[in-house]
Structure 1
């Protein structure tokens, strides 16, 4: 095993922002980590230093060592649940080697990004990275969830959509009504400026993204759960999008 494969960088939690019962945004500062926007990195947290996971930063790399992760607690996922519920400011995380090839081609003119849940994180990093280019490509970002409150980054995406004239955000929900149980964390942030019901398109990401026809002159990036990715890629190919134009994360 090479030295790079076992190298770890250190970062300290500076903010733990709980957005939903099962989701939190964690911001850290520390050593510069040499990843590229769209990649994932290894993460080891003090809640269980013997178990590592891979997460995709939601910010592009910065020389001042800023990192942001969007973490959802998955069923029977002890580590992800501990990160969401128990992370505290001051916790020291170890960041491992980056991997993955999700990226936007330098000569891409139009890009379709499709994010399910926290699959938004690497695509948000890519959008912010594109903002550094003198002439970014036109980007259409489909972001979806089962219910409206699953669109956990609505306020942030609203601001990006307003600030970046080359970006169009398309929020997608499978069901227009939220479930009838209360999520206290959502209630705390509810009402913040963001996309509302007048902006939502109803359906699955596969249905909505493929309803625009074949993306024959676009680069397409799809990130989310394995079932969502499979269904979306299948729908895109079935409607004429070349399989070779699609990257998955």
Structure 2
């Protein structure tokens, strides 16, 4: 082996030994979303606000998007040497319905801003600060099967909220669709078919009594399936149903 080749091999081995594991581990997080399975503070379980969890999303362009139940935080992130480092953690300023949610946001913001340690324990991500530790599991992608709650009405590229006090669900089970708006659409099973990203379903006859605020949701459901089919798309825990003109529904699990 010539001296030139020997030097090249030695340099490659040195770079691999010094930089490989750290870069590899950090790369393992890219494009993944982790959700908390346990949270401890000062060695004791920390009670999260009911219905909330910590979510950490690592984007392909090396950003961290984090939530703890209300506001969203994001920043460029570095994962060198087992440390999670955010350069400038920006947070939205939504008015959370409970003060406890604001406190939870501040707790997570301080934890992430203090350069906590991180490691992979099997498929779990463990983030450890001076007084807190979060164990997070990889988020499993949602499937169409199951019950979805309508939380938005789509018209002309805008999304409006469902009227207050109205709860409407759409369930997919064993080849049947069940639409329940609490009024004219009462959850009766009707068949549907999948054709790629198309849900083929013809709405059956219903009563036509006035339901007050629920009328808006029922009209949106009818518009979504106006041609007996709707296009569906699942992004994490959000299901979008749209007709050919782009109007439709946003639903969550």
Task: Kindly name which structure, 1 or 2, has the bigger radius of gyration based on alpha carbons.
Answer: 2
Query: If the length of structure 2 is used for normalisation, what is the TM-score?
Result: 0.29
Structure with the larger strand share: 2
Query: If the length of structure 1 is used for normalisation, what is the TM-score?
Result: 0.29
